[in-house]
């Protein structure tokens, strides 16, 4: 879908826990020193939520930052959608709690979304559609997760936590949304049944028929629709379950490491699931200059991808001059935990 009316990002915010665990600490606790797993995944550490942090608290912090960076009256926000696979309640929306915590209008549309790691970009598509259809002046989309993993599973090296919030509207755009498209299939590569604490995954099966097929298809479809080639793009962002997968798919699609490298924060925060692609986008927006084209492609197991094409505006550069709390600053403040502290925190989630 190519947008014929101006629609895009008018503000954004991010939230990471203040704690992390080094991959080497996990190796040592499992008596797997020098296993080579962190190096193969390209993840040196991951974020860890504190005992009082969950998808709701992280979403609230990310939305609060986005609102503080926006000149728009919060009463003009018409909807909020929160995508996650770790909502604290099976039946009770996260979106209503975030709305009330931030004193947003009680007349807003809202919903919690679930599509594995692409639930956050699904929320973004909904918001863009609401704004383009003149249903609301602006809407908030959030991707947030406190990812779970079996102790001893390879996912333990990557399952992180974080949130990213985007306010979409029509005026004072930091980045214009030029087009978006999606692709999906019934590919059971990753799942968690009711009452299960940790997800199951199909290992290598999640690669070629899952991640690579959907991201490649979505990216090619969007580029074809807008008539662009990889060398016309300034930044590319692909979902980051690890560092290896996005590097591989970027190369297969014809993108350079320079176009990709700014999005590879997974090395320092792990895979934040529904927040991953949106946090990577925020890290790109934190330093990008004006008139830069950004290709973003998410991936959610089960399976599907959402692709977006953004172009930054001069207002982004101007607005950033008064901001603090950039993604890189939050990463720099992470405090390492011991494996015992890490277990104590994660067992409460």
213 is catalytic: no
Question: Residues 156-209: pLDDT tens digits?
Answer: 999 999 999 999 999 999 999 999 999 999 988 765 667 666 666 666 556 578
Q: Decide if pLDDT at 217 tops 90.
A: yes
136 is catalytic: no
Q: Which residue, 118, 117, 168, 114, is CA-closest to 141? A: 168
More confident residue, 35 or 70: 70
Question: Residues 262-307: pLDDT tens digits?
Answer: 999 999 999 999 999 999 999 999 999 999 999 999 999 989 999 9
Q: How far apart are CA 2 and CA 8, in angstroms?
A: 12
User: Is domain 177-314 annotated with CATH 3.40.47.10?
Assistant: yes
Q: Which of 25, 85, 139, 201 is catalytic?
A: 85
Would you give the DSSP letter of residue 272? -
Q: Which of 201, 213, 239, 349 is catalytic?
A: 239
Q: What is the pTM of this model?
A: 0.95
Q: How far apart are CA 38 and CA 158, in angstroms?
A: 9
CATH superfamily name and code, 8-175+319-346:
Thiolase/Chalcone synthase (3.40.47.10)
Cβ burial of 195 (10 Å; 0-12, 13-18, 19+) is exposed
Query: How much helix, strand and coil, in percent to the nearest 5, is found in the chain?
Result: 40, 25, 35
Residue 172 CA, chain-centre distance (Å), reads 23
Cβ burial of 107 (10 Å; 0-12, 13-18, 19+) is exposed
Helix (H, G, I), strand (E, B) or coil at 163: strand
What percent of the chain shows pLDDT beyond 70? Answer: 94
Alpha helices, H only, 86-226: 94-101, 119-132, 213-226
What percent of the chain shows pLDDT beyond 90? Answer: 82
Question: Residues 48-97: pLDDT tens digits?
Answer: 999 999 999 999 999 999 999 998 888 999 999 999 999 999 899 999 99
Q: Which residue, 283, 308, 336, 318, is CA-closest to 126? A: 308
Delimit the domains of the chain by residue range.
Answer: 8-175+319-346, 177-314
225 is catalytic: no
Question: Residues 153-170: pLDDT tens digits?
Answer: 888 999 999 999 999 999
Q: How far is CA 294 from CA 102, 132, 176, 232, in A?
A: 30, 20, 10, 10
Copy the structure tokens of residue 45.
């550490």
Q: How close are the terminal C-alpha atoms of the chain, in Å? A: 38
pLDDT of residue 62: 98
Intrachain domains 8-175+319-346 and 177-314 with the same fold: yes
Q: Which of 20, 117, 139, 236 is catalytic?
A: 117
Q: How far apart are CA 100 and CA 97, in angstroms?
A: 5
Q: How many residues can be counted in the chain?
A: 349
Q: How far apart are CA 18 and CA 50, in angstroms?
A: 8
More confident residue, 119 or 3: 119
Q: What is the mean pLDDT of the chain?
A: 93
């Amino acid at each position: 879908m190519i947008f014929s009316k101006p629609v895009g990002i008018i503000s954004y915010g991010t939230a990471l826990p203040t704690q992390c665990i080094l991959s080497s600490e996990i190796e040592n606790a499992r008596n797997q020193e020098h296993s080579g797993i962190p190096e193969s995944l390209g993840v040196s550490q991951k974020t860890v939520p504190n005992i009082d942090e969950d998808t709701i608290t992280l979403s609230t912090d990310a939305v609060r930052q986005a609102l503080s960076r926006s000149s728009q009256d919060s009463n003009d926000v018409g909807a909020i959608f929160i995508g996650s696979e770790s909502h604290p309640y099976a039946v009770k929306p996260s979106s209503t709690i975030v709305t009330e915590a931030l004193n947003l209008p009680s007349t807003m549309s809202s919903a919690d979304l679930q599509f594995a790691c692409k639930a956050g970009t699904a929320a973004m598509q909904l918001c863009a559609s609401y704004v383009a259809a003149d249903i609301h002046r602006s809407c908030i989309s959030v991707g947030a997760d406190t990812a779970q993993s079996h102790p001893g599973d390879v996912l333990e090296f990557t399952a992180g936590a974080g949130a990213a919030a985007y306010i979409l509207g029509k005026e004072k755009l930091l980045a214009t949304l030029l087009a978006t498209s999606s692709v999906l299939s019934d590919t059971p590569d990753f799942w968690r049944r009711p009452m299960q604490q940790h997800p199951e995954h199909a290992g290598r099966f999640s690669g070629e028929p899952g991640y690579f097929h959907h991201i490649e298809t979505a990216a090619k479809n969007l580029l074809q629709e807008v008539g662009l080639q990889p060398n016309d793009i300034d930044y590319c962002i692909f979902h980051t379950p690890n560092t290896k997968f996005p590097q591989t798919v970027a190369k297969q699609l014809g993108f350079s490491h320079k176009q990709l490298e700014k999005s590879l924060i997974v090395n320092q925060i792990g895979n934040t699931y529904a927040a991953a692609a949106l946090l990577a986008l925020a890290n790109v927006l934190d330093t990008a200059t004006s008139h830069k084209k950004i290709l973003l492609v998410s991936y959610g197991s089960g399976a599907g991808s959402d692709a977006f094409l953004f172009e930054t505006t001069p207002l982004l550069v101007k607005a950033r001059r008064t901001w603090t709390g950039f993604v890189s600053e939050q990463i720099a403040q992470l405090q390492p935990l011991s494996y015992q502290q890490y277990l104590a925190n994660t067992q409460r989630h």
